Amino acid sequence: MTIRTKKLINAPEDIIPEFIEGLVGAYPDLLTVEGSTGRAVVARHGPRDGKVGIVIGGGSGHEPAFAGYVGRGLADAAAVGNVFASPSPEQILDAGRAADGGAGVVFLYGNYTGDVLNFTMAAEELAAEGTPIRHIAVTDDVASAPYNRRSERRGVAGDFFVFKCAGAAADRGEPLERVEALARLANDRCRSMGVALGACSLPQTGTPNFEIGPGDMEIGMGLHGEPGMRREPLATADTVTDVLMEPILSELDLTEGDRVAVLVNGLGATTQLELFVLFRRVRQILEARDVAIHASWVGEYATSLEMAGASVTLLKLDETLTPLLDHPCRTPALTVGAAPEPIAGATRSARQMRAAKRATAVDRLSLKQGGRIAPTTFRGSMMAVAEAIRRERDWLSQLDGVIGDGDHGITMDTGWTAVTAALAALPADATISEICETIAHAFLTAVGASSGPLYAEAFRSAGAAVSDRLDLDGPALAAWVKGMSDGILARGGAKPGDKTMIDAWVPAALAAADAADRGMDESAVLEAARDAARAGMHDTAEIESRCGRSAKLGARSLGHIDPGAASASVMLAAMCSVLALR
């Protein structure tokens, strides 16, 4: 029987704007919202001329992270994504522009594929507008990769310390290069390890996003519900704390006389009663090593919706980081020292925004013709994709729940719902290339997860590949499928065999090209692509993941279909269903 969870929400699609409205309404003296996306939460007394801007961000569901750390002395702005999904580049740009005081901006976010892709795209655009920009992915989770591959590690509760140190450095007037260096130093000296006792559930599904037995615990659980290092029988609080602390202590190489800051963090459904029992054991372990606790926090600082569990984070301090940790700040979730007052005489100048690009008019008479897939047919196939993704949304999310964070179907449905609205507003005579550009923009704006920038790049690449065509014949259709594959390869960095959507799109492109080379018509070309994508999808069950969140699972990812490859198969099958009716 499917377990249904209960949440105090209205419509799931309204939960983020309503959350932001409630947060800003509760702290009107600290926060405001700026930018057209409505997803940039900005400190009222944070950004100012001459100060490096600090922008943090990530998916929702981790409250009080990320918007709860916006305020004087910490972050100047936060970009707020959908639940467990990175904010989109446009949302990040709103936050970056709001935080820009003319001295540069630093982006800070967790090391997840979607966050890396979206923050990188936003950084590229902000740099093109003339703003000096640095961006740092937090990598504190010792469970997610060995030390010699620590650049691949996830960012979990260590965000708390990295954000605090970077925000203090900027508030003290340090230049951009120094703020970046201090943020990287905090990241290098920060380690976390977590345990989960129970699952969380996404608002859109209302079902647990993974299964765990009543007598089990997951060691090394990720912040989005990703499976951890191993599953073990539930142990006592002291035993669990010992297990969490061992790799942290080993890597930080703490010795007599060292000082640390400690964060014992609840994941959403763990009581203060339990968290202080865990802290008690952390303190005992450190005292036995004659390591001093300079500062400590116990509570919920980086959650995973209502997940039961906790994490332990240590920051190894020195004479550089200690003053940053102690620097006053005031935010909804954290106040340190005396609440800082606004700086007398501080100014905040309006930033010059780059003018929007104007679309170049298309000379339709110059475009090649002769194919069966007219723009109206192509548009119809895209609407069919949206319908198919909606039908398969729960299945795709279930696939993702096994090896990821359980939101792939939701994310894809969000993107294609936005595409449907955008296509409805597009002129009836739009070309296939224009349709593709519209889809790319809609997807990138609506979807902040890795699928957003990947499919935005895919549709732009595919549209460019057929920009000389009014309609598509067999070879042009093969070029379009290859353009989709090439765009994902260029933006994502994954390669065939990494257990990603590429394992469906690359064979689809090869099969389409082969069919076109053999003179087959449009229907046969697309069917060849569909069949190859379906085979590639099933093949991913035999591949050990080497890219994305599931890469942390190693052999535990075997036997499971990749959700990205599955959605690619769904898309091509839906396109075939439309063409077969023509």
* Higher pLDDT, residue 338 or 323: 323
Given this model, what pLDDT does residue 339 score?
66
Nearest-CA neighbor of 129 among 97, 162, 152?
A: 97
Residues 6 or more apart from 172 whose CB is under 8 A from it? 327
Single-letter amino acid, residue 456: A
Given this model, what pLDDT does residue 222 score?
77
Given this model, what pLDDT does residue 554 score?
62
Range of lowest pLDDT (119-123, 194-198, 396-400, 541-545): 541-545
Say yes or no to pLDDT of 506 above 50: yes
Given this model, what pLDDT does residue 363 score?
75
Q: Which residues pair with 33 in a beta bridge?
A: 41
Residues 6 or more apart from 423 whose CB is under 8 A from it? 379, 382, 383, 435, 438, 439
For residue 335, how many other CB atoms are within 10 A of its CB?
A: 16
Cβ burial of 29 (10 Å; 0-12, 13-18, 19+) is: exposed
Report the CATH number of the 12-185 domain: 3.40.50.10440
d(CA 245, CA 265): 13
Nearest-CA neighbor of 309 among 144, 209, 197, 229?
A: 197
Residues 218-234, mean pLDDT to the nearest whole number: 82
Say yes or no to pLDDT of 582 above 50: no
Render pLDDT for 294-321 as a digit per residue (tens, 0 to 9). 999 999 999 999 999 999 999 999 999 9
Residues 522, 472: contact at Cβ < 8 Å?
yes
Say yes or no to pLDDT of 413 above 70: yes
Residues 164, 74: contact at Cβ < 8 Å?
yes
Which two tokens mark 502? 């590429």
Global pTM? 0.84
d(CA 539, CA 560): 10
Given this model, what pLDDT does residue 570 score?
96
Q: What is the DSSP letter of 294?
A: E
SS in 3 state form for 526-581?
A: HHHHHHHHHHHHHHHHHCCCCCCHHHHHHHHHCCCCCHHHHHHHHHHHHHHHHHCC
Query: Mean of the per-residue pLDDT values for the chain?
Result: 91
Say yes or no to pLDDT of 552 above 50: yes
Residues 569-580, mean pLDDT to the nearest whole number: 90
Residues 153-164, mean pLDDT to the nearest whole number: 96
Angle at the Cα of 145 from the Cα atoms of 110 and 183, rounded to 5 degrees: 40
Cα 345 off chain centre by: 38
Which two tokens mark 449? 């997860």
Say yes or no to pLDDT of 555 above 70: no
Secondary structure (3-state) at 368:
strand
- Reply yes or no on whether 45 is catalytic: no
Residues 6 or more apart from 320 whose CB is under 8 A from it? 182, 185
The number of residues in the chain equals 582
Say yes or no to pLDDT of 406 above 90: no
d(CA 193, CA 142): 6
d(CA 306, CA 326): 30
Tokens 């380690």 -> residue: 191
78 phi, psi to nearest 5 deg: -130, 135
Range of lowest pLDDT (137-141, 324-328, 341-345, 417-421): 341-345
Q: Which residues pair with 231 in a beta bridge?
A: 218
Assign a CATH topology to domain 364-579: 1.25.40
Residues 399-418, mean pLDDT to the nearest whole number: 83
Residues 268, 306: contact at Cβ < 8 Å?
yes
The CATH 3.40.50.10440 domain(s) of the chain lie at 12-185
The CATH 3.30.1180.20 domain(s) of the chain lie at 194-309
- Name the strand (E) or helix (H) holding 56: strand 53-60
Residues 6 or more apart from 444 whose CB is under 8 A from it? 88, 89, 90, 121, 452, 453, 456
Residues 6 or more apart from 259 whose CB is under 8 A from it? 291, 292, 293, 294, 316, 317, 322
pLDDT band at 356 (very low <50, low <70, confident <90, very high): very low
Residues 6 or more apart from 518 whose CB is under 8 A from it? none
Render pLDDT for 366-401 as a digit per residue (tens, 0 to 9). 899 999 999 999 999 999 999 999 999 989 988 887
Assign a CATH topology to domain 194-309: Hypothetical Protein Tm841; Chain: A;domain 3 (3.30.1180)
Cβ burial of 3 (10 Å; 0-12, 13-18, 19+) is: exposed
Render pLDDT for 105-134 as a digit per residue (tens, 0 to 9). 999 999 998 999 999 999 999 999 999 999
Residues 30-59, mean pLDDT to the nearest whole number: 96
Residues 456, 440: contact at Cβ < 8 Å?
yes
Catalytic residue, chosen from 45, 62, 135, 224, is: 224
Residues 530, 384: contact at Cβ < 8 Å?
no
Secondary structure (3-state) at 45:
coil
Q: Which residues pair with 201 in a beta bridge?
A: 208
Quote the strand ranges of 62-142, DSSP E: 77-83, 105-110, 133-138
Q: Tell me the pairing of strands 53-60 and 77-83.
A: parallel
